[in-house]
Amino acid sequence: MLNYISGRLEEFSSEMKQTTDISSIDSIKQLIMSALDLAAINKIENESSSSSSIDQQNNDNKKVSIAFPIKTFRIRSSILTELLEVSHFRSIRQIFISILVIVFLQVAITDLFELGTIDFRLDVILWNFSNLSACLRLWLYLFVSACIGVYCCFHFWAYKRLSFIPIVSSLNTTEKSNKKPTSLLIFDSIWFTLYCLYIGLFLFFPVHYILAENYPIVTRIIILIEQV
């Protein structure tokens, strides 16, 4: 477009040279060229600014959509409930229930013919829950140590270590501020060692107490699950 305009201006200047002075033609040409150049430059700048603003707006929309996606929440049943709505899974459940009923009837009939009475083996159930008071007392100790003791120690460590961090006000010392002071490293190492010692004692003493007292199966499971 500019080449076409410059060509037309040269033709116009060559025609005007034949009738007018060269100096006046050059001044007119310079004025016309400057006005056309300004118009073309303004047009290009407006187009580039509008395209850049559109691109920036699209990029902002993409960033917003990526960083903060819109989430929809809805109430739904559990996976097991949805599976039980299928006829095949309902039939499998009924098969297991029927197997349990058949096993119970088989054991009951066998006891009737051999012993003359139905033995529900309640002594085994009572044996599994024997020494329950000591089990609950040990479970309470573990629960209190994990919920209260560890929380208080962690709270103290998190707030006390702030006093070992130096306050840096100048911007030139950013590299130095990234390095932890020696006192902070020693403080963190001590508390990390205490935490590892607590984990070791938490795993050792309950097992030792269970084996020493010869806990039955159910009470052992209660303590071991609390450890996990």
Q: Where are the domains of the chain?
A: 2-67, 76-120, 129-227
Please state, in angstroms and as integers, the Cα–Cα distance from residue 98 to each residue in 86, 109, 178, following that order.
Answer: 19, 16, 67
Q: What is the DSSP string of 159-175?
A: HHGGGGSPP---STTHH
Per residue of the chain (228 residues), give pLDDT as tens.
556 666 666 765 666 655 554 445 445 445 444 555 556 666 666 666 666 666 666 665 555 555 567 888 888 888 888 888 888 888 888 999 999 999 989 988 888 888 888 777 788 888 888 888 888 999 999 999 988 989 999 999 999 888 888 776 555 555 555 677 888 899 999 999 999 999 999 989 998 989 888 888 888 898 988 887
The 3-state DSSP class for residue 153 equals helix
